[in-house]
């Protein structure tokens, strides 16, 4: 089994040798992996590490401040660089999920590149773990932090080399390491949060308005579902434009609506990009999802609450998983979902609240 202390003993001389007397920039997203990598690096390399949290504009409510607060002891020199305007203006209007991911990645590493110059280093460290590159190599999605494993030459493209001390670890091992390094439970037990953040939860065309709705809804879902033992729980926001599909309604025995918005799924071992569907009251979740996923549909949702006015649909997403390669949807009582929905619906821009009932496969955990 994994032993954090021997892992540190093993990795320390490697890090010291790679970094030498230079400095190394590390991008901290506030997620478990990058924060743990930064705490590890600080412990081994001290002030030669420059931990930077980039505010991409797609962070959660108050995230930069709270991460700085929570890591004060083990990463005392964390700086926050506000690049939200650069990211937002470049990504506004982009609609396709993969295009968003690729654009985000480019802006992200251009930003790292200029920060590296600013802080006088040609080395960067990141918290990539095993699962990240396995799925990207599999072609399911372009995970923002997977470069080396795809054969991307970061040195010629951005002028820095990459160090990934956690590349062979799995999530539970990273959590153990985090505890060992003295990170608080709010970090070590934190649910995963993707590098591109709320960008990939603001489904379809990115607008500042949609992002604000998403950020607020996500806070509500996180607050309401915290501590219930789910592996991941969050909100996603998309345009509520949809059409009723009579044939499919007949097939599943309940009103089916197909949204213009698209989301990602996995078919066999490859990524698929299909539509979102909602079912008024699915009789059997398993069967409904199975039937609809035979069509061009990747995420099936049940309706929790709706009204006539508004322009966005917000979906509550919760999953249970061991390895994030497959995931189940836990059952949450109708009453609890309704309470969450009522709070989200207080925003007049929200037309309906849905509950994503699709496991992985055929869906992915995130929608993009
Ligand atoms: P999917 O949606 O592919 O997600 O089922 C599996 C796990 O990966 C996380 N995820 C990401 N993490 N950068 C990250 O650091 C990314 O680009 C990214 N995309 C997905 C997701 O939150 C889930 O835990």
**Residue 67 labeled ligand binder:** no
192 close to ligand 1 (CB < 6 Angstrom): yes
* Residue located nearest, by CA, to atom 14 of ligand 1: 194
Please tell me the pTM assigned to this model.
0.94
Task: Count structural domains, the chain.
Answer: 2
How does pLDDT run along the chain (368 residues), one tens digit per residue? 999 999 999 999 999 999 999 999 999 988 999 999 999 999 999 999 999 999 999 999 999 999 999 999 999 999 999 999 999 999 999 999 999 999 999 999 999 999 999 999 999 999 999 888 776 766 666 777 888 778 889 999 999 999 999 999 999 999 999 999 999 999 999 999 999 999 999 999 999 999 999 999 999 999 999 999 999 999 999 999 999 999 999 999 999 999 999 999 998 878 899 999 999 999 999 999 999 999 999 999 999 999 999 999 999 999 999 888 899 999 999 999 999 999 999 999 999 999 999 999 999 999 99
Which of 188, 220, 253 marks a domain boundary? 188
Q: Tell me how far apart the alpha carbons of residues 357 and 284 are, in angstroms, rounded to a whole number.
A: 11
H or E element in which residue 27 lies: strand 24-27
Could you tell me the distance, in angstroms and rounded to a whole number, from the CA of residue 218 to the centre of ligand 1? 16
Does ligand 1 lie within 6 Å of residue 166's CB atom? no
Note whether 247 and 174 are same-domain residues: no
Among 159, 188, 217, the domain-final residue is: 188
Partners of 360 in beta bridges: 327
**209 and 288 share a domain?**
yes
CATH of the domain at 293: 3.30.300.10
Domain match, 170 and 208 both: no
Residue 80: inside a domain: yes
Residues counted in the chain: 368
Answer yes or no: do 325 and 283 share one domain. Answer: yes
Last residue of a domain, one of 188, 214, 246: 188
Please tell me whether residues 265 and 133 are part of one structural domain. Answer: no
Residue 365 within any structural domain of the chain: no
Quote the tokens at residue 9.
């003993």
- Measured in Å, residue 231 CA sits from the centre of ligand 1 at 12
Long-range contacts of 2-6 (CB under 8 A, 24+ apart): 2/169, 2/172, 2/173, 2/176, 2/177, 4/176, 4/177, 4/179, 4/180, 4/181, 5/180
- The answer to the question of residue 363 being in a domain is no
168 and 242 in one domain? no
236 lines ligand 1 (CB under 6 A): no
Do 91 and 50 lie in a common domain? yes
Q: Is 265 in the pocket of ligand 1 (CB under 6 A)?
A: no
Distance 239 CA to ligand 1 centre (A): 22
Residues 35 and 145 in one domain: yes
Please tell me if the CB atom of residue 194 comes closer than 6 angstroms to any atom of ligand 1: yes
Q: Tell me, in angstroms, the distance from the centre of ligand 1 to residue 207's CA.
A: 22
Instruction: Give the full edge-to-edge strand order of the sheet including 123-125.
Output: 79-82, 49-55, 24-27, 123-125, 161-163
Is position 32 annotated in a ligand binding site?
yes
The atom number, within ligand 1, closest to the CA of 191 reads: 24
d(CA 240, CA 255) in angstroms, rounded, equals 16
Half-sphere exposure of 48 (CA within 13 A, CB side): 19
Tokens 């390094």 map to which residue? 181
Q: Confirm whether residue 29 is marked as ligand binding.
A: yes
Same-domain status, 176 and 214? no
Q: Residue 78 has which token pair?
A: 């964390």
ipTM of the complex: 0.99
Question: What is the span of the domain harbouring residue 89?
Answer: 4-188
């Amino acid at each position: 089994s994994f032993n954090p202390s021997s892992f540190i003993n093993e990795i320390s001389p490697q890090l010291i040798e790679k970094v030498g007397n230079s400095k190394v920039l590390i991008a901290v997203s506030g997620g478990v992996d990058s924060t743990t990598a930064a705490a590890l690096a600080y412990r081994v390399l001290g002030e030669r590490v420059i931990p930077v949290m980039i505010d991409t504009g797609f962070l959660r409510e108050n995230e930069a401040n709270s991460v700085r607060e929570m890591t004060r002891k083990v990463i005392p020199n964390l700086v926050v660089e506000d690049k939200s305007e650069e990211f937002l203006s470049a990504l506004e209007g982009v609609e396709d999920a993969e295009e968003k991911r690729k654009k985000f990645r480019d802006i992200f590493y251009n930003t790292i590149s200029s920060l590296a110059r600013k802080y006088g280093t040609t080395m960067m460290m990141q918290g990539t773990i095993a699962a990240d590159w396995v799925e990207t190599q599999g072609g399911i999605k372009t995970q923002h932090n997977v470069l080396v494993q795809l054969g991307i030459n970061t040195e010629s493209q951005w002028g820095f080399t990459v160090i990934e001390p956690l590349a062979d670890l799995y999530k539970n091992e990273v959590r153990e390491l985090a505890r060992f390094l003295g990170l608080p439970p709010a970090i070590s037990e934190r649910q995963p949060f993707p590098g591109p953040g709320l960008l990939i939860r603001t489904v379809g065309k990115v607008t500042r308005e949609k992002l604000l709705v998403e950020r607020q809804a996500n806070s509500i879902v996180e607050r309401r579902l915290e501590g219930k033992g789910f592996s991941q729980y969050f909100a996603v926001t998309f345009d509520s434009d949809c059409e009723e599909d009579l044939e499919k309604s007949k097939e599943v025995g309940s009103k089916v609506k197909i949204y213009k918005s698209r989301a990602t799924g996995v078919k066999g071992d490859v990524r698929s990009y299909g539509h979102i569907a909602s079912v008024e009251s699915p009789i059997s979740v398993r069967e409904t999802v199975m039937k609809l996923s035979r069509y061009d549909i990747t995420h099936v949702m049940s309706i929790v609450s709706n009204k006539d006015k508004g322009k966005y649909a917000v979906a509550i997403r919760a999953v249970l998983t061991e390895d994030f390669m497959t995931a189940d949807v836990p059952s949450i009582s109708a009453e609890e979902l309704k309470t969450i929905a009522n709070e989200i619906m207080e925003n007049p821009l929200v037309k309906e609240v849905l509950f994503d009932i699709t496991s992985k496969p055929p869906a992915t955990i995130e929608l993009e």
